[in-house]
């Protein structure tokens, strides 16, 4: 059914205003994304993921003492109960990593000290939950991956921040400062993106006066779909198919001629390039130079040039993220869970905002079926 048939209908709710928010804004004409008024490029290049998490969850950039207290709270909350580990171990072999994340947060919810809060709109209780949810995301994601691959989880290390702890719990050893910087920038850039599908689903969930953990699980389930999450995984698969800079131009021109989907380029919300991709492209190519592997960055240079000249289409954040993560030694099946590690901050911010001034989200629909049918006895039905 189309908008032509039903003038009041917008497929995919495109252009329909679904609510009010002060969490983030996309300025389409400038391809600019702001978290609570701050350019995400500045947050990624000058700040840290923890500052961004504080901004999203608490509504302002922290002072040094506030950030120190916030980091200490995250540090104290990174470990997960043994029952969560047991639940992850109980998952069937081959269970999708995103489904394991859903299991982890579902089991974790009952261990939250604020689980039985009487008022689901209690702002301070929800902020405390959001901090615990953020702190434990990387722990659950790495535990799920290691268990799925026959390895024991590695406990978080005190004193390491989110990006550094993720890499430590994944690889079993601390990484160098620039590697951590790249991971931290990626988390900052993925943390929030207005009323995207998973964020809206999270808000719909908590608007029923469900709890924050249910909203997070809803967000994970929505993000699992390949039309939302997973684009960075597909972008890396594309780069691996191309293989080398020598193949890049021929592969891309053939793909353009046959109208093959070019993963990691273009975005529905950005017309002149994804502002998030600018800084991540810079650090992704630099990490390649530092590791003595410029292959992926060289392929990217060729593809970016041709796409810009031929189609006026620019890379989105998933393109540099794909080869940045690959260069950091991160398995491809963890790319979308990394999205979750970052995005739980944005989901939490939206869930808290929804619950602070709540109204049940219940849109209308247009019925397209038959009417006035008469009920017939079962033995008479053909």
> Helix, strand or coil for residue 357?
coil
Residues marked as catalytic: 267, 318
Question: What does each C-alpha distance from 71 to 32, 45, 113, 139, 309 come to in angstroms?
Answer: 28, 19, 19, 16, 45
Picking from 270, 251, 272, the residue whose alpha carbon sits closest to that of residue 262 is 251
All domains of the chain in start order, with CATH: 46-176+191-225+333-356 (1.10.580.10), 231-327 (1.10.230.10)
pLDDT of residue 230: 86
pLDDT of residue 4: 65
The rounded distance, in Å, linking the Cα atoms of 153 and 187 is 21
Specify the DSSP element, H or E, that contains 33.
strand 32-35
Which pLDDT tens digits describe the chain residue by residue (382 residues)? Answer: 555 688 889 888 888 899 999 999 999 777 789 999 999 999 999 999 999 999 999 999 999 999 999 999 999 999 999 999 999 999 999 999 999 999 999 999 999 999 999 999 999 999 999 999 999 999 999 999 999 999 999 999 999 999 999 999 999 999 999 999 999 999 999 999 999 999 999 999 999 999 999 999 999 999 998 888 888 999 999 999 999 999 999 999 999 999 998 999 987 666 667 888 899 999 999 999 999 999 999 999 999 999 999 999 999 999 999 999 999 999 999 999 999 999 999 999 999 999 999 999 999 999 999 999 999 999 999 8
Question: What does each C-alpha distance from 152 to 91, 164, 207, 258, 298 come to in angstroms?
Answer: 15, 19, 38, 46, 37
- CB contact at 8 A, 335 and 325: yes
> Helix, strand or coil for residue 129?
helix
């Amino acid at each position: 059914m189309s908008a032509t048939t039903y003038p009041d209908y917008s497929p995919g709710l495109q252009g329909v205003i679904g609510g009010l928010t002060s969490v983030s804004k996309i300025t389409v004409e400038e391809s600019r994304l702001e978290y609570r008024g701050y350019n995400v490029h500045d947050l990624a290049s000058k700040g840290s993921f923890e500052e961004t998490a504080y901004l999203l969850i608490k509504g302002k950039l922290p002072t040094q003492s506030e950030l120190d207290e916030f980091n200490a709270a995250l540090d104290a909350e990174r470990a997960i109960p043994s029952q969560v580990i047991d639940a992850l171990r109980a998952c069937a072999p081959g269970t999708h990593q995103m489904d394991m994340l859903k299991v982890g947060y579902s089991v974790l919810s009952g261990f939250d000290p604020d689980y039985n809060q009487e008022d689901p709109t209690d702002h301070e209780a929800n902020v405390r939950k959001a901090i615990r949810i953020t702190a434990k995301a990387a722990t659950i994601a790495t535990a799920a991956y290691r268990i799925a691959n026959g390895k024991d989880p590695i406990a978080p290390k005190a004193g390491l921040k989110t990006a550094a702890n993720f890499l430590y719990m994944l690889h079993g050893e601390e990484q160098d400062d620039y590697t951590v910087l790249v991971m931290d920038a990626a988390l900052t850039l993925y943390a929030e993106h207005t009323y995207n599908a998973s964020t809206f689903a999270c808000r719909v969930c908590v608007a029923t006066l469900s709890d924050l953990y249910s909203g997070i699980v809803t967000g994970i389930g929505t993000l699992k779909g390949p039309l939302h999450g997973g684009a960075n995984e597909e972008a890396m698969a594309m780069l691996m198919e191309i293989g080398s800079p020598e193949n890049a131009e021929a592969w891309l021109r053939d793909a353009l001629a046959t109208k093959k989907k070019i993963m990691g380029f273009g975005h529905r919300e950005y017309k002149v390039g994804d502002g998030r991709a600018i800084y991540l492209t810079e650090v992704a190519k630099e990490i390649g130079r530092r590791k003595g592997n410029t292959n992926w960055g060289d392929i990217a240079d060729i593809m970016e040039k041709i796409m810009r000249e031929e189609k006026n289409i620019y890379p989105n954040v998933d393109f540099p993220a794909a080869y940045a993560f690959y260069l950091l030694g991160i398995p491809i099946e963890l790319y979308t869970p990394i999205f979750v590690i970052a995005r739980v901050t944005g989901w939490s911010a939206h869930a808290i905002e929804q619950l602070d001034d709540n109204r049940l989200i219940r849109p209308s629909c247009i019925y397209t079926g038959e009417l006035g049918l008469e009920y017939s006895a079962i033995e008479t039905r053909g």
